[in-house]
Amino acid sequence: MSANGENRSAAEVAAAASELRVAASRLLRQLRTARAGIEMTPSQAVALSRLGHEGPMSVADLARAERVRPQSMRTTLAVLEERGLVARAPHPTDQRQVLLSLSEAGQQLLRLAHDAKEDWLATAITTKLSPGEQDSLIAAIPLLARLTED
């Protein structure tokens, strides 16, 4: 519903969706640029981030979580392992599987990447938005989060 309590037309919702997609794409591009000094592909960053937030996982679990083929995830993880950012350990209950987790170097790199992105975003919010706009943005965060819930 709009501010006056009326339902939005399909055209208005479609236009808003288009504008939000463009804004979100630009925001993501800026966030990737903020960590530009950290050489990592988006798929490597996602794998590191997931391991950092969810803990040790098998290749199959990571692939399923990211909706990619296990072969693709193996390739991504091989590069991260070669760089010393992830470590392998035997699965505690299934000896056929291996669990991957962040190494100390992986944890440090993930912290650096997150800090760089959050620093850029905090600076952008405080320098480009008025206090009222900052309040509006903060109020919208739970709504944006709901859009991505499964």
Domain annotation for the chain: domains and CATH numbers:
29-147 (1.10.10.10)
Give CA–CA dist 96/105, Å, rounded: 26
Band (pLDDT 50/70/90 cuts) for residue 5 is: low
Determine the longest span between alpha carbons in the chain, in angstroms.
61
According to DSSP, the residues that pair with 99 across neighbouring strands are 89
pLDDT of residue 3: 62
> Which amino acid would we find at residue 2?
S
For residue 150, is pLDDT > 70? Answer: yes
What number of CA atoms fall less than 13 Å from residue 99's CA on the CB side?
15
Task: Report the candidate in 5, 27, 2 with the shortest Cα–Cα distance to residue 16.
Answer: 2
For residue 70, is pLDDT > 80? Answer: yes
Task: Give me 45's structure tokens.
Answer: 């960053």
- Per-residue pLDDT, averaged over 75-81, amounts to 95
Answer for the pair 16, 87: CB distance below 8 angstroms, yes or no.
Answer: no
Answer for the pair 112, 38: CB distance below 8 angstroms, yes or no.
Answer: yes
Answer for the pair 81, 75: CB distance below 8 angstroms, yes or no.
Answer: no
pLDDT of residue 38: 76
- Per-residue pLDDT, averaged over 41-54, amounts to 91
Mean pLDDT (the chain) is 91
- Per-residue pLDDT, averaged over 5-21, amounts to 91
- Per-residue pLDDT, averaged over 79-94, amounts to 92
For residue 37, is pLDDT > 90? Answer: no
- Per-residue pLDDT, averaged over 109-126, amounts to 92
